[in-house]
Amino acid sequence: MQYEAVIGLEIHAQLLTDTKIFCGCSTRFGSDPNTQICPVCTGMPGVLPVMNRKAVEYVVRTGLALHCDISSYSRFARKNYFYPDLPKGYQISQFELPLCEHGFVDITVEGNSKRVALTRIHLEEDAGKNIHEGGGHDSAVDLNRAGVPLMEIVTEPDIRSAAEAAAFMKKLRAIVRYIGVCDGNMEQGSLRCDANVSIRPSGQEAYGVKTEIKNMNSFRYVEKALDYEIKRQIRSLQDGERIIQETRLWNTEKGVTESMRSKEEAHDYRYFPDPDLMPIEFEKSLIDRIQSELVELPDEKHRRFVDEHGISDEDAGLLVAERETAEWFEVAVKAGGDPKNICNWIKGDFAKLLNDNNTQINESLVTPQMLVAMLSLVEKGTISGRIAKTVFEEMYRTGKTADEVVEEKGLVQISDASGIETIIDEILNNSTGEVARFREGETKLMGFFVGQVMKATKGKANPKIVNELLRKKLN
């Protein structure tokens, strides 16, 4: 029997506000434990939460970017449960009246586009962190993260494969980073994804029993964990077993999902409206302002790069994946460079250098204008395309302009035909064997002769002239 996977995601994104959701404590990551806390976020009796306006605006901004309906009236609720990292005994969240509903994200997997519908986006506070270290019997609690604003994004069960889930996460990460509401760092946990997975016989409409997978802190793990879980569920059904509704953890080392708790043990959260917080009511003008401030999003940029700059669909996808790359590209195009040429450098030599040095494009010493100036040296024939690679590497390393590098290293292309001819004559005289073989039809030796000339000129000979002269002399 053929099975189909059904997946819905619940994503938590930490909002990039400077301060927490209900107090003025800093949200900075990586500080010493319990250095960013106060009576409000540690749940002391009698304190009152004060809503962070920015956090609300960030969720609305996200909702607009993801084509949601923004609720003109929404409310906060208490979600009651006990855990040491939650001193208040309840998390302030949203329940029946979230800030945003509906909406969608378009994804492309192997050339096929599809739309994943969103159920809702709501605002809530993060909990602290329990730390179990040293193998002893003690646990410590760090409340720096308690009260950091989180946005929860819930999708409809529209996703049909692990690859689609990973594509969704990549797209969502790009969008929240473009609009500046979340840094998208999955390793540090500022973007977290829980996946609900079930399978059903192909063609069947009713959904199967789902499991919820947690602890996937990279795109790669999202894909691996879901692939594993889908196979596991199919195997179970084929073995005549039943899927039980449970929460499972992805075990990175073993590459498997493992049962954490079954739904029977799940909590009844006894949600009720938080009496300390006023409901939020929006004026349309505020939503209009946030809409008007929205930056161009990856999909729109993608289309524009294809239409305006003649970039291929695939390359445009690479360019828009990070906002910084897309912007760098556009500055270079505005500076007068050929778009395809610029794109080839960005995805080729430049990408390799950035990757090797673990650097972001906007932190590079090479500015878009510097790349364009170098490309124009190639166009004018001052340097060869081959030497350009050496020049670029030096520019990358030192921050010098192409002109400076070419001047200092004497890299100007040799285009003077008589100079090249002298060198060619010498090489042909010293390679009588190869010349004879070439004339007997072993034409692939052309590469050998070109190589010799380039070696003798340290790569500076104009390749077009070299080829012309060699062909003339050998034939």
Q: How many residues sit close enough to ligand ADP to count as binding (CB under 6 A)?
A: 15
Other residues' Cβ atoms within 10 Å of the Cβ of residue 17: 18
120 binds ligand ADP, rule: CB under 6 A = no
Query: Shortest distance, CB of residue 198 to ligand ADP, whole angstroms?
Result: 3
- Residues numbered 430 to 459 that lie near Zn ion (CB under 5 A) are none
SS3 content of the chain, % helix, strand, coil (to 5): 40, 20, 40
Helices and strands, counts by H and E, the chain: 16, 17
The token duo for 61 is 């901004």
Among 52, 155, 190, 325, binds ligand ADP (CB under 6 A): 155
CB closest to ligand ADP, residue no: 8
Which residue type does 185 have? N
172 binds Zn ion, rule: CB under 5 A = no
Query: Shortest distance, CB of residue 49 to Zn ion, whole angstroms?
Result: 10
From ligand ADP, Zn ion, none, interface partner of 41 (C-beta below 5 to 8 A by class): Zn ion
User: Quick one: 54 exposed, middle or buried, by C-beta within 10 A (0-12, 13-18, 19+)?
Assistant: middle
Residue closest to 255 by CA, chosen among 215, 216, 225, 233: 225
331 binds ligand ADP, rule: CB under 6 A = no
From ligand ADP, Zn ion, none, interface partner of 155 (C-beta below 5 to 8 A by class): ligand ADP
From Zn ion, ligand ADP, none, interface partner of 374 (C-beta below 5 to 8 A by class): none
User: Quick one: 227 exposed, middle or buried, by C-beta within 10 A (0-12, 13-18, 19+)?
Assistant: middle
414 binds ligand ADP, rule: CB under 6 A = no
Q: How far is CA 189 from the centre of its chain?
A: 14
41 binds Zn ion, rule: CB under 5 A = yes
Beta 149-155 vs 140-142: how paired, if at all?
Answer: unpaired
Other residues' Cβ atoms within 10 Å of the Cβ of residue 161: 16
The token duo for 252 is 């990175």
From ligand ADP, Zn ion, none, interface partner of 196 (C-beta below 5 to 8 A by class): ligand ADP
74 binds ligand ADP, rule: CB under 6 A = no
From Zn ion, ligand ADP, none, interface partner of 149 (C-beta below 5 to 8 A by class): none
Buried b / exposed e over 331-368, threshold 16 CB at 10 Å, is bbbebebbbebbbebbbeebeebbeeeeeebeebebbb
CA atoms within 13 A on the CB side of 403: 5
Phi/psi of residue 165, nearest 5 degrees: -65, -45
Q: By C-beta, is 163 or 286 nearer to ligand ADP?
A: 163
Query: Shortest distance, CB of residue 9 to Zn ion, whole angstroms?
Result: 30
Asked if 202 contacts 192 with a C-beta cutoff of 8 angstroms, the reply is no
Span of 44-52, 62-70, 94-102, 194-202 interacting with ligand ADP by CB under 6 A: 194-202
21 binds Zn ion, rule: CB under 5 A = no
From Zn ion, ligand ADP, none, interface partner of 207 (C-beta below 5 to 8 A by class): ligand ADP
Among 11, 15, 21, 23, binds Zn ion (CB under 5 A): 23
Query: Shortest distance, CB of residue 31 to Zn ion, whole angstroms?
Result: 13
Q: By C-beta, is 40 or 59 nearer to Zn ion?
A: 40
Phi/psi of residue 408, nearest 5 degrees: -60, -45
25 binds Zn ion, rule: CB under 5 A = yes
55 binds Zn ion, rule: CB under 5 A = no
Question: Could you give the string, one character per residue 9-48, with x where binding to ligand ADP holds by CB under 6 A and - elsewhere?
Answer: xx--------------------------------------
From Zn ion, ligand ADP, none, interface partner of 23 (C-beta below 5 to 8 A by class): Zn ion
Greatest alpha-carbon pair distance for the chain in Å reads: 97
Binding residues for Zn ion (CB under 5 A): 23, 25, 38, 40-41
